[in-house]
Chains A and B, each alone.
Chain A
Amino acid sequence: MRGGPQTVAEPTGIRAAEIPAPRLTGVGLLTGEPDRVTGPTGLVPAPTPAVDGDRFRRATRECLLAMTAARAAVGDAGLDARDVGGERTGVVYVTACAYAGANRAFLEDERSTTLHFPYTSPSAVSAEVTIELGIRGPYVTLAGGGTTTLGAVWYAAGWLADGLADRVLVLAVETMAEVRDLFVRARRLYRPPLVEGAACLVLEPGAGWWIRWASAVARASRASVAVAGVLDAVLREARPAVVAPGAGAGPLARAEARVLAARGVDHTCMPEARAGEGLACGPLVSLARARASGAAGPCLVTAAWRGEYAALLWPFS
């Protein structure tokens, strides 16, 4: 606490928010290849996809990545644009920094025009997806890393549980090449390599079971307490069949390994799910790869971002 209000020193209970589990019916992934690491930040660039249509001639790289991932996910779900258009499809978009390149360009180039400024807003990326697919349903854009993405998945599940949508696209995009020098300065935030990419999941209403999500700020002195609190709240008696750890390295990762080991859970059972730091994309990549691996049973996905730790338990049956 830094001069703020008085709070109780010890946590009295992190609680997981529980919600009926959706079905993961479609996946679209575009991630950089880990063997193409470049530069001092260990950046893994994502290839810029070509997207048909005049509208995209001037679109930013993050928009093209988003469009391609969204189209792939919709197709993978056995849907087409006519199915997802209208007010019964929702979009939750998350990014930690996919706007930073556009912001930098606008800051540095005083000759920038009307073509540039709108793309400095994170919501421009999700806007292009909703425009292309004609989506007019529930809609939120969140700024943050993997912990925020786990909250976004939970939030999307809430829309489905409340009957606000028939399907939700959970989308994340990260582009970092344009601001790699800032990542050099902020290297304590992440564990290299940084992996650019886009990930989109299509969620539809499911049946039975629940997903659980919890999140807590885990300051250094209380990292173990917070990590244990989050994992206890999310797992309860469950024993995950698959674990996709996202805490990187450092005190949170060590605390996570200790807690899972104490529960007899092999926390390294799917480490390849997150080769590198994909920021907001990471948890979606994990869920996608857990599905692809044919996971049978609950999947635990964790994330850390700026001192926050979060976990989501997803039932694959």
Chain B
Amino acid sequence: MSDTGTRKAEPIAITGAGVVTPIGQDLDTFWAGLVTGVSGIGEIERFPVADLRVTRGGEIKKLPPPPGSPRQPPACRASRLLLAAAHEALESAGLRDALPPPDRIAVVVGTALGGIDDAARAVRGEGGIRAAVGALYDGPTRHLARWVGAEGPVLTVATACAAGATSLGVAADLLRRGSVDVALAGGVDVLCRFVQRGFNVLRSLTREEVRPFDRRRTGLLLGEAAAIVVLERGPSALGRRPASLGWLLGHASTADGVHVTAPDPEGRGLELAVRLALREAGLAAADVDFVSAHGTGTLANDRAETEVFRRVFGPRAAHIPVNSIKAHLGHTMGAAATLEAIMCLLAGRYGQVPPTLNYAEPDPACDLDCVPNAARRYRPRVSLSTSLGFGGCNAALVLASG
């Protein structure tokens, strides 16, 4: 691992956030569910699963109403989730009725599946041109941009399950380089037969509970969600001083170059992402006092992440609180990293770290302080959030609470 030096980038303010998840369709409910250990995992009801090995997941049972639109809501489920999350994010940023000019707003959304339900309809010959166009991965992002009225850059990040972190990093770069004044960034993915069947054939899904970092862990379960944050430059270009939820200090996304689906067992790409993100933040590993891990509950992921934390933090790795919220929500793919970033900021705001659920037997290969089963009173100042995805994608975010 080369010396990554020091390079401090301008911190980017996170001025609002919105979520739609299996445990809550607004920030307050989401947070309450996290700290009280609510699980959104259950039997999947929306599509046929009887023939699949695993039939459970983090399904949103009732879609939120389309925000503020008299028109017919979008048929695309991912778009509906995104719009609801963006609505809350803009409200909480105080921007709902005070956005900058349209061409000064960017939209950057990460996704692992894009408009996959439109793709399924299009392939069946249903839905006409709407489904054919929506089937592309950038369909939901463009839907959101239209709804917001954003006319600046519209980008869709497709780094699989790391996309919800990479999207925040790309949006921050657009802001730092002066392309726009406000960016809506985040991630979305829906639970559908396509992806449930896909992970089923890969045998990545567990028939038991999701147990991140536990010795008996046997795999992940999928979930669906949308999460959006509003990003602005610190000294607001809008001439206001927004009440900030927190700050994005640093970001990096890197490649493993090892395997199409499995993480590098040594985690070299993830380690580089962490070091580059810290470098961008102008911080040392010693400054990090909380880690939100990807923590899928698979043997390979949790072991690789632990290896990386040991190398980055040294002996401190065993003592820094590290959690995974995948047992609450399932793995929400493109939305996961954005949800975890929001969780880090809320932990700083409320002085509590949500637990890692279903943790019972320590694994010597994952000897971390996993905040097992009950929330902990603790107010992190600087958090690290790590993410991994298909295609050897890694991402790291360094965040500070407001």
Cβ of B233 to closest chain A Cβ, rounded Å: 13
CB contact under 8 A between A133 and B68, given known A17-B174, A17-B177, A117-B202: no
| B101 within 8 Å of A (CB atoms) | yes
Does A175 have its Cβ within 8 Å of any Cβ on chain B?
A: no
In the complex, the answer to whether A123 meets B391 with C-beta atoms within 8 Å is: yes
Partner of A4 from the list B137, B148, B160, B258 (CB cut-off 8 Å) is: B148
Contacting residues, chain A, for B71 (C-beta < 8 A): 2-3
Q: Report whether A138 and B254 are in contact in the complex, using a CB–CB cutoff of 8 Å.
A: yes
A107-133 interface bits toward B, Cβ cutoff 8 Å, 1 = contact, 0 = none: 110101110011111111011101101
Q: Pick from B1, B67, B179, B390: contact of A127, CB below 8 A.
A: B390
Contacts of B105 in A (CB 8 A): 7
Q: How far is the CA of A133 from the CA of B257 in the complex (A)?
A: 8
Q: Which residues of chain B have C-beta atoms less than 8 A from A7's C-beta?
A: 99-102, 105, 148-149
Q: Is B320 interfacial (CB 8 A cutoff)?
A: no
Pick the 4 closest A-B CB pairs, nearest first: A123-B391, A3-B69, A143-B137, A139-B255
CA distance A120 to B389 in the complex (A): 13
Give complex CA distance A150, B256 in Å.
25
Q: How far is the CB of B51 from chain A (nearest CB, A)?
A: 8
Q: Flag the segment in B18-26, B125-133, B335-343, B345-353 that touches A.
A: B125-133
User: Does residue B281 face the partner (Cβ distance < 8 Å to A)?
Assistant: no
Mask, B130-153, CB within 8 Å of A = 1, is 001101111000100111111111
Q: B257 to chain A: which residues have CB within 8 Å?
A: 85, 130-131, 133-136
A241 at the interface (CB under 8 A from B): no
Tell yes or no: B300 within 8 A of A by CB.
no
A127 vs B391: C-alpha distance in the bound complex, in angstroms? Answer: 5
Residue A34, interface by CB 8 Å: no
A14 CB to nearest chain B CB (Å): 5
- A residues near B53, Cβ cutoff 8 Å: none
The one of A185, A188, A308 that contacts B154, using a Cβ cutoff of 8 Å? A308
Instruction: Report A212 CB to chain B, min CB distance, Å.
Output: 11
- The reply on B304 being an interface residue by CB < 8 A is no
Does A22 belong to the interface (CB within 8 Å)?
no
**Cβ contact within 8 Å between A136 and B151:** no
Contact across chains for A136 and B268 when beta carbons are under 8 A apart: yes
Contact A6 B99 (CB under 8 A): yes
By the criterion CB–CB under 8 Å, are B136 and A143 in contact? yes
B260 within 8 A of A: yes
Which of A70-78, A156-164, A194-202, A291-299 sits within the interface?
A156-164
Given A124-B390, A127-B392, also A97-B136 (CB < 8 A) = yes
B115-123, B286-294, B377-385 - interface stretch: B115-123
For residue A220, CB closer than 8 A to chain B, the reply is: no
Q: Write the chain A residue with the least CB distance to B106.
A: A215
- Is A216 part of the contact surface with B, judged by Cβ < 8 Å? yes
With known contacts A118-B390, A135-B257, A185-B128, A106–B194 Cβ distance under 8 A: yes
Task: Give the bracket for the number of chain B residues in contact with chain A.
Answer: 35 or more
Query: B394 — which chain A residues lie within 8 A by C-beta?
Result: 139
Q: Select from chain B the residue with minimum beta-carbon distance to A8.
A: B101
| Smallest CB separation, B200 vs chain A (Å) | 9
- A140 contacts partner chain B, Cβ-Cβ < 8 Å: yes
Please judge, given known A-B contacts A5-B90, A142-B158, A162-B7, whether A185 and B255 are in contact too, CB under 8 Å: no
Q: Which residue of B lies closest to A16 (CB)?
A: B179
Extra A-B contacts (9), CB below 8 Å, given A3-B69, A123-B389, A136-B255: A8-B100, A87-B254, A107-B120, A113-B201, A121-B390, A136-B254, A151-B153, A215-B152, A217-B154
User: Is B190 an interface residue when CB atoms closer than 8 A count as contact?
Assistant: no
Q: List 11 A-B contacts (CB under 8 A).
A: A2-B147, A3-B147, A11-B103, A100-B119, A100-B136, A110-B197, A122-B137, A124-B391, A130-B255, A151-B153, A216-B103
Give the one of A13, A15, A148 with max B CB within 10 A: A15
A226 touches B103 (CB 8 A): yes
Q: Tell me if B269 is interfacial: C-beta within 8 Å of chain A.
A: yes
Give the A interface residue count (CB, 8 A).
84
Residue pair B123, A131 in contact (C-beta under 8 Å):
no
Q: Determine whether the beta carbon of B129 is less than 8 Å from that of A141.
A: no
A227 to B337, CA, bound (A): 35
Across the interface, do B255 and A137 meet the contact criterion of CB distance under 8 Å? yes
Q: Are A103 and B198 in contact (CB under 8 A)?
A: no
Whether, in the assembled complex, B159 has its beta carbon less than 8 Å from a beta carbon of chain A, the answer is yes
Query: Is A254 an interface position by the 8 A CB rule?
Result: no
CB distance from A108 to the nearest CB of B (A): 6
A138: contacting residue among B151, B156, B203, B253, CB under 8 A: B253
Contact between chains at B97 and A123 (CB < 8 Å): no
Is the CB of A155 closer than 8 A to any CB of chain B? yes
Known: A2-B146, A100-B135. A139 touches B253 (CB 8 A): yes
A12 located at the interface, meaning its Cβ lies under 8 Å from any Cβ of chain B in the complex: yes
**Known contacts A120-B198, A136-B268, A144-B156: A128-B69 contact under CB 8 Å:** no
Which residue from chain A places its CB closest to the CB of B177 in the assembled complex?
A17
Question: Complex: how many Å from CA A123 to CA B160?
Answer: 7
A19 touches B133 (CB 8 A): no
Given A127-B391, A142-B157, A215-B152, check contact A13 B103 (CB 8 Å): yes
In the complex, A52 has a CB within 8 A of chain B: no
Q: Is there a chain A Cβ closer than 8 Å to B259's Cβ?
A: yes
* Interfacial chain B residues near A126, Cβ < 8 Å: 255, 391
Asked whether A135 and B136 contact (CB < 8 A) given A3-B70, A4-B68, A8-B100, the answer is no
A134→B201 CA distance, assembly (Å): 28
Identify which of A110, A131, A137, A140 gathers the most chain B CB atoms within 10 Å of its CB: A140
Q: Mark A84-100, 1 if CB is under 8 A from B, else 0.
A: 01011001000011011
- Pairwise interchain contact B151-A141, C-beta atoms closer than 8 A: no
